[in-house]
């Protein structure tokens, strides 16, 4: 098995994994037809937690992956969330987090899960914001861990060591060694740390089912791409300066199911060939498509086999791509990354040919982000640039509706919850906006550290991870 590390996996664990994966479906909403709250975008045809027909999963109580059930930053069914996020104003609990990591929380029925990189010699010391240097000095050694916190009390219930880095590489000052967000099925949680390794953990008892550290590449700036699930495949990007591909692992065993090199022409500079994006899965005319922005190209694959269906050129240099694409109907919206980010709207309609010219609906080049992901709300698309300029555009035409400065520098992605937009900056300010055709800032609150992870909301619970702490706002009892 080469560098594959396998834990003990009994037949029961394999069967449990298969049952859990069978409960994931593509397209459609099985929990009822009234799932869209006022002011929220209807669920798009992306990969969602749907549950089995006999035991449906309620998306209003779970948050299984980066940016939520549909991967679009929309908290379906959220309600009664606060605007004032200061201490004492609706705060249920706040707990410190050992080590550092920008992975966003994921939630099952009982626990909030995050990953973290804990210095072996100084466990519990927070990393904080460090935007003054391009590269961060590497610590002596690190443990990459999965942490579980009780949603009701904030108590830490599990701390599972997954990998040890004896000599960590230097990374970008705005990155961490635990930036990719885990993803869950009904039984397991899958943690990805880029070339440092990927692991599957059974959530009920914390058993490590398998580890895989065979997917090696040079990130240079550290890992960034979060994994996604499709049927029995765990899929993630592997776009480094030395090699660029997209990879699928078998969820039951951790072995490579397929790995496909990027086919599009790229810059001759290795530094301009890397990317850190998270893909999306959508269904168009009954066909499952894996939508994958990388350097210079948007790729569309068959998620079962990895076969490339077509690719669309950015029309300009685009690399170190971070924002996750969002999908509404047949249209995908995504940002191209450095040097100058472009927001693109591309049609995924299966009846069109694969040519870029036919599929590109519009582009926007002014004040676009290289890190925060876009957000779709009621026919409008919202973006916040790294420099803190919020822009609202028409979803169909790309016409700019308004563009105004919020202040500060931004890396995290926005959340739509309870009819409000939550987005935090690197200085720890959380902005709450009212969606609409003019900027309406409802409130601004100061947290205790940098906000690099995306906020999370389910029901009347709001969770925020900073560089120092985890917060939960809402009632002290979990809504049923």
Q: Give per-residue pLDDT as tens, 401-445.
A: 999 999 999 999 999 999 999 999 999 999 999 999 999 999 999
Q: What mean pLDDT, rounded, does the chain reach?
A: 87
Residue 20 has pLDDT above 80, yes or no: no
pLDDT tens per residue across span 205-227: 999 999 999 999 999 999 999 99
CA-to-CA dists, residue 434 to 48, 104, 213, 399, 415, angstroms: 26, 23, 44, 20, 12
CB 23 within 8 A of CB 30: no
Q: How confident is the model at residue 58 (pLDDT cuts 50, 70, 90)?
A: low
And the tokens for 77? Answer: 């069914």
pLDDT tens per residue across span 87-143: 777 899 999 999 999 999 999 999 999 999 999 964 444 443 333 335 556 678 999
Nearest CA to 42 out of 34, 52, 51, 32 is that of 34
Task: Report, as an integer, the average pLDDT of 161-188.
Answer: 96
The pLDDT value given to residue 165: 96
The pLDDT value given to residue 479: 54
Domain boundaries, the chain: 4-124+135-473
Lowest mean pLDDT among 187-201, 327-341, 344-358: 344-358
Contacts with 54 (C-beta within 8 Å, 6 or more apart), sequence order = none
Residue 324 has pLDDT above 80, yes or no: yes
Proportion of the chain above pLDDT 90, given as a percent:
80
Lowest mean pLDDT among 15-19, 134-138, 154-158, 304-308: 15-19
Task: Report, as an integer, the average pLDDT of 21-28.
Answer: 32
The pLDDT value given to residue 357: 86
Rounded CA Rg of the chain: 20
Architecture of domain 4-124+135-473: 7 Propeller (2.130)
Measure the CA–CA gap between 235 and 279, rounded to whole angstroms. Answer: 8
Measure the CA–CA gap between 67 and 90, rounded to whole angstroms. Answer: 23
The pLDDT value given to residue 43: 37
Measure the CA–CA gap between 453 and 406, rounded to whole angstroms. Answer: 18
The pLDDT value given to residue 34: 25
| Pairing status of strand 415-417 against strand 74-75 | parallel
Residue 46 has pLDDT above 50, yes or no: no
């Amino acid at each position: 098995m080469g560098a594959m590390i396998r834990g003990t996996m009994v037949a029961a664990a394999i069967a449990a994994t298969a049952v859990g994966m069978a409960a994931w479906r593509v397209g459609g909403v099985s929990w009822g037809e009234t799932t869209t709250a006022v002011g929220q975008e209807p669920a798009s045809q992306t990969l969602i937690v749907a549950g089995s027909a006999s035991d449906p999963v309620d998306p209003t109580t779970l948050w299984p992956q980066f940016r939520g059930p549909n991967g679009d930053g929309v908290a379906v069914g959220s309600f009664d969330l606060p605007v004032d996020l200061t201490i004492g104003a609706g705060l249920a609990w706040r707990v410190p987090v050992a080590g550092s990591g920008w992975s966003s929380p994921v939630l099952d029925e009982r626990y909030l899960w995050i990953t973290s990189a804990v210095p072996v010699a100084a466990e519990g010391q927070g990393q904080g914001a460090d935007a003054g240097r391009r590269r961060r000095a590497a610590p002596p050694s690190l443990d990459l861990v999965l942490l579980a916190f009780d949603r009701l009390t904030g108590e830490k219930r599990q701390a599972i060591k997954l990998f040890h880095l004896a000599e960590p590489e230097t990374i970008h000052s705005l990155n961490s060694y635990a930036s990719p967000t885990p993803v869950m099925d009904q039984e397991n949680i899958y943690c990805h740390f880029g070339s440092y390794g990927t692991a599957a953990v059974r959530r009920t008892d914390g058993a490590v089912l398998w580890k895989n550290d065979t997917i090696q590449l040079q990130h240079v700036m550290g890992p960034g791409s979060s994994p996604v699930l499709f049927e029995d495949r765990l899929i993630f990007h592997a776009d480094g300066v030395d090699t660029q591909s997209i990879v699928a692992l078998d969820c039951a065993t951790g072995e490579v199911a397929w790995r496909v090199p990027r086919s599009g022409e790229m810059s001759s500079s290795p530094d301009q060939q890397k990317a850190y994006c998270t893909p999306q899965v959508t269904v168009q005319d009954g066909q499952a498509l894996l939508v994958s922005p990388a350097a210079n190209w948007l790729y569309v694959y068959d998620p079962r086999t990895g076969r490339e269906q077509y690719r669309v050129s950015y029309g300009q240099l685009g690399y170190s791509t971070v924002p996750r694409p969002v999908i509404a109907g047949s249209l995908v919206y995504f940002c191209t990354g450095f040097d100058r980010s472009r927001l693109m709207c591309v049609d995924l309609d299966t009846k069109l040919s694969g040519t870029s010219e036919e599929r590109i609906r519009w582009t926007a080049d002014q004040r676009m982000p290289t890190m925060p992901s876009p957000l779709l709300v009621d026919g409008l698309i919202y973006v916040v640039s790294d420099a803190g300029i919020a822009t609202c555009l028409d979803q169909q035409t790309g016409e700019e509706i308004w563009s105004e400065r919020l202040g500060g520098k931004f890396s995290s992605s926005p959340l739509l919850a309870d009819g409000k937009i939550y987005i935090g900056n690197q200085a720890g300010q959380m902005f709450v906006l009212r969606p609409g055709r003019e900027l309406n800032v409802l409130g601004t609150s100061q947290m205790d550290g940098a906000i690099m992870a995306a906020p999370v909301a389910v029901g009347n619970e709001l969770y925020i991870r900073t560089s120092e702490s985890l917060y939960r706002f809402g009632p002290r009892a979990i809504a049923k």
